């Protein structure tokens, strides 16, 4: 199983919670989280890389961790996102 969602980069095990999305047959996705992927398809198939970037940064801001950790997460987020399966060209 991939450690991070291959669409948004979020850990698939978020603070001990399984946030994997579902496949069409109801099984858990090994690649994507439940915020990106449901019933075997992307929830927002037309979202762009830049839109995902903005959303991810917001999620980091609203998530756990202190300011310094968040600063570094946001700094490296674009690079992380670029390496994910959904955005690789």
Report the interface residues with Zn ion, using CB under 5 A: 5, 7-8, 33, 36
Distance CA 72, CA 61 (A): 11
Complex with Zn ion: residue 2 or 70, whichever CB lies closer:
2
The 3-state secondary structure of the chain reads CCCECCCCCCECEECCEECEEECCCCCEEEEEECCCEECCEECCCCCCHHHHHHHHHHHHHHCCCCHHHHHHHHHHHHHHHHCCCCCCC
Which of 70/87 has CB closer to Zn ion?
87
Indicate the residue among 52 and 89 with the shorter CB distance to Zn ion: 52
For residue 69, the minimal CB distance to Zn ion (Å) is 20
CB of 10 to Zn ion, least distance (A): 5
**In the complex, least distance from residue 59 CB atom to Zn ion, rounded to whole angstroms:** 10
């Amino acid at each position: 199983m991939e450690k991070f969602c291959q669409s948004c980069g979020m850990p698939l095990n978020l603070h001990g919670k399984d946030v994997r999305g579902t496949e069409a047959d109801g099984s858990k996705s090994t690649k994507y989280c439940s915020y990106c992927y449901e019933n075997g398809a992307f929830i927002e198939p037309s979202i762009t890389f830049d839109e995902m970037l903005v959303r991810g940064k917001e999620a980091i801001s609203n998530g756990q961790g202190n300011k310094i950790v968040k600063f570094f997460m946001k700094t490296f987020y674009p690079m992380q996102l670029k390496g994910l399966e959904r955005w690789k060209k």
